[in-house]
């Protein structure tokens, strides 16, 4: 109807890598619609608020906002049927938490693997999928990995973060070569603590910048080619 006003909400897709798995923060709804299903942190846009400020405010109700290493606007959803009660526009944000960071979360909130989500409310499962694809794309042509990694790390640790985020195995040697050549990471003077297996301690690396930078606009990580039948038989 001409002149009709619609509600507008903001959502946050909070992602992290832990135990070689990409996780998303969800809270369980306690009332209809979709009672008992899992939802992204969300809330209405205030009359005097900017979208980013509103996203931060609602996110702070579920997680310590100071642990968010990077946040950016993801997309706006305008399907008239996305909320069964009334028409609600939704602007989603992607937020990343570094490995090793442990933000305090309330009892109705939990981390869930992106590749095995529980039943989700509204269109939130689809929005999480969009966030995963945004992250995968930006890992190719930006330094966004800084927001998932601790301040210093071994190449093996960084490989696990990239592999979990991209959804396929990553060569540590190739990753080190590519990111070093692009000036994304650099060695530090430190080494990792010795392990029970012994051997030479692994060198520690760090991201050159811990703010978002486009490093190669034409680059793209791609999954390794599938093994051929002859290779399998061999």
Token digits of residue 159: 């490989």
**92-121 pLDDT tens trace:** 999 999 998 888 899 999 999 999 999 999
pLDDT on residue 5: 82
Contact 89, 7 (CB under 8 A): yes
Q: Measured between alpha carbons, how far apart are the two ends of the chain, in Å?
A: 66
107 CB contacts (<8 Å, ≥6 apart)?
none
- Spatial separation of the C-alpha atoms in residues 65 and 58, rounded to whole Å: 10
- Spatial separation of the C-alpha atoms in residues 201 and 190, rounded to whole Å: 10
Of the candidate ranges 50-59, 85-94, 107-116, 187-196, the one whose mean pLDDT is the lowest: 187-196
pLDDT on residue 125: 98
- Number of alpha carbons in the 13 Å side-chain half-sphere of residue 6: 17
**136-185 pLDDT tens trace:** 999 999 999 999 999 999 999 999 999 999 999 999 999 999 999 999 99
- Spatial separation of the C-alpha atoms in residues 17 and 21, rounded to whole Å: 5
Q: How many residues does the chain have?
A: 234
Structural domains of the chain, ranges and CATH numbers in brackets:
7-139 (3.90.79.10)
Please tell me whether the overall predicted TM-score, pTM, comes out greater than 0.75 for this model. yes
Q: What are phi and psi of 152, to 5 degrees?
A: -135, 155
Q: What are phi and psi of 74, to 5 degrees?
A: -100, -60
Find where tokens 């973060």 sit.
161
Helix (H) or strand (E) holding 21: strand 21-28
Contact 80, 87 (CB under 8 A): yes
């Amino acid at each position: 109807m001409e002149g009709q006003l619609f509600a507008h909400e903001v959502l946050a897709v909070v992602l992290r890598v832990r135990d070689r798995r990409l996780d998303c923060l969800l809270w369980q709804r306690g009332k209809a619609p979709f009672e008992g299903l899992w939802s992204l942190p969300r809330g209405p846009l205030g009359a005097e608020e900017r979208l980013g400020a509103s996203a931060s405010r609602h996110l702070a109700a579920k997680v310590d906002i100071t642990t968010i290493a990077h946040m950016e606007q993801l997309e706006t959803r305008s399907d008239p049927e996305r909320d069964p009660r009334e028409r609600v526009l939704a602007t989603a944000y992607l937020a990343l938490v570094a490995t090793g960071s442990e933000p305090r979360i309330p009892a109705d909130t939990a981390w869930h693997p992106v590749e095995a989500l529980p039943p989700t409310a509204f269109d939130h499962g689809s929005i999480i999928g969009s966030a995963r694809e945004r992250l995968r794309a930006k890992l190719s042509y930006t330094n966004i990995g800084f927001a998932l990694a601790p301040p210093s790390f071994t190449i093996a640790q960084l490989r696990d973060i990239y592999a979990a985020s991209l959804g396929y195995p990553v060569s540590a040697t190739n990753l080190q070569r590519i990111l070093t050549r692009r000036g994304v990471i650099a060695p530090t003077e430190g080494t990792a603590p010795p392990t029970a297996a012994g051997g030479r301690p692994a060198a520690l690396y760090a991201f050159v910048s811990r703010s978002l930078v486009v490093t190669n606009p034409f680059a793209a990580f791609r999954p390794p080619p599938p093994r051929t039948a002859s290779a399998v038989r061999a």
